[in-house]
Amino acid sequence: MSVAPALGERGYGDAMTSLALTPSLAQTAPKVLLHDHLDGGLRPATVIELADASGYAGLPTRDPGELGAWFSAAASSGSLEEYLTTFAHTVGVMQTREALVRVAAECAEDLAADGVVYAEVRYAPELSLEQDLSLVEVVEAVQDGFRLGEAQAKASGRSIRIGTLLTAMRHAARSREVAELVVAFRDDGVVGFDIAGAEAGFPPTRHLDAFEYLRRENAHFTIHAGEAFGLPSIWEALQWCGADRLGHGVRIVDDITVSDSGSDSGEVRLGRLAAYVRDKRIPLEMCPTSNVQTGAAASIAEHPIGLLARLRFRVTLNTDNRLMSATSLSRELMLLGEAFGWTLEDARWVTINAMKSSFLPFDERLALIDEVIKPGYAALGAP
């Protein structure tokens, strides 16, 4: 079922609402991405070439097509912990300045080619220190790569802006250092902070010092929560740590009861936490394909994003790891079109949700919405 008719704010009328998503529309529509991992989006050919240059010998195959298929298959284990093991190969080749610049530049180019106009891309600087780069040098290299990629995309007729999220690993002890990097580079394109990694056994409250520091410095942060672990993870991220957004947050559905799960008109009851998340308009960085791979959802058709969008949660649509999920933001839109009947207007709705929820300053968010996103969808919806 399309979510657009329930919104009551179509803006462009029934003609646009009725436009079914096609691959061409999904790719052409201006899109916003808030949850994309740099080390989860490398081109398979780049992984092989960087492995050759660095002497990394751990790849399961040296054929680009086979390697891409291997990443997708290995990530589809039904376990977040197993899913995360695939990153050993991508992180393994991201250990020099040259590699980091190239990977970041290609990320910006690839997203722009998919019609993404703004993206917040995250990575963990502490994972690229094996060849004597410092944390600062890692951040500088990635920022240089993003600026290069933005320029190359513009030269090709595509405009994109990249905001960086610096991630700390939740099983490690460098979150305060990474948080300080966020503040140090916040005028140079770093827009926020994140923690990632296995949730079970590593609650976000282990990093309270970092979160309290960021709040004192008026900095933004999101937290991976409610993916592999349930409601306590979400509750801690919000009520103890003060997260601005929830990375995934898919398990918030555990606090929602539908009297008839097979009907769109079934009675819905929200628990206290789910009601709080909706009332406060806390953004959910939802990643359907990734969630199916890790077992957080049984299938795209059964993914909670359909219900959460219908209930008007602040849903955003994301890729998580484009290499591991063999996906793009256009593909994720098409999957929801097939599963829930999402239309072009639903794509517009979820895109504006994401832009509203970004960590850019308010006036810059508004400019992208009014000058890029809304005109882009108006052009696609015109008779």
Per the CB < 8 A criterion, the answer to whether 120 and 34 are in contact is yes
pLDDT band at 249, cuts 50/70/90? Answer: very high
pLDDT in tens, 159-177: 999 999 999 998 889 999 9
The per-residue pLDDT for 304 is 97
Per-residue model confidence (pLDDT) at position 162? 98
Q: What is the pLDDT of residues 93-145, one digit of tens each?
A: 999 999 999 999 999 999 999 999 999 999 999 999 999 999 999 999 999 99
Q: Quick one: 4-381 is in which CATH superfamily?
A: Metal-dependent hydrolases (3.20.20.140)
What are the pLDDT digits (tens) for 282-318?
999 999 999 999 898 999 999 999 999 999 999 999 9
- The pLDDT of residue 22 is above 90: yes
- Cα separation, 143 vs 190, whole angstroms: 8
Rounded mean pLDDT, 36-53: 98
d(C-alpha 136, C-alpha 134), whole Å: 5
Q: Are 64 and 92 in contact (CB under 8 A)?
A: no
Q: Is the pLDDT score of 218 beyond 90?
A: yes
Give every CB contact of residue 159 below 8 A, 6+ residues apart in sequence: 112, 117, 153, 372
Ordered by start, the domain boundaries in the chain are 4-381
Residues in the chain: 383
**What is the arithmetic mean of pLDDT over 224-251?**
93
Instruction: With beta carbons less than 8 A apart as the criterion, state whether 270 and 255 touch.
Output: yes
Which class for 235: exposed (0-12), middle (13-18), buried (19 or more C-beta within 10 A)? middle
Q: How confident is the model at residue 44 (pLDDT cuts 50, 70, 90)?
A: very high
Q: Above 50 in pLDDT, residue 49? A: yes
Distance of CA 254 to the CA centre of its chain: 21
Q: What is the pLDDT of residue 97?
A: 98
pTM: 0.93
Residues with a known catalytic role: 227
pLDDT tens-digit series, residues 182-202: 999 999 999 999 999 876 677
Helix (H, G, I), strand (E, B) or coil at 31: strand
Residue 264 pLDDT class (50, 70, 90 cuts): low
pLDDT, residue 165, reads: 98
Does the CA dihedral 200-205-206-211 come out positive or negative? positive
User: Per mean pLDDT, which of 25-39, 185-199, 254-268 is the most reliable?
Assistant: 25-39
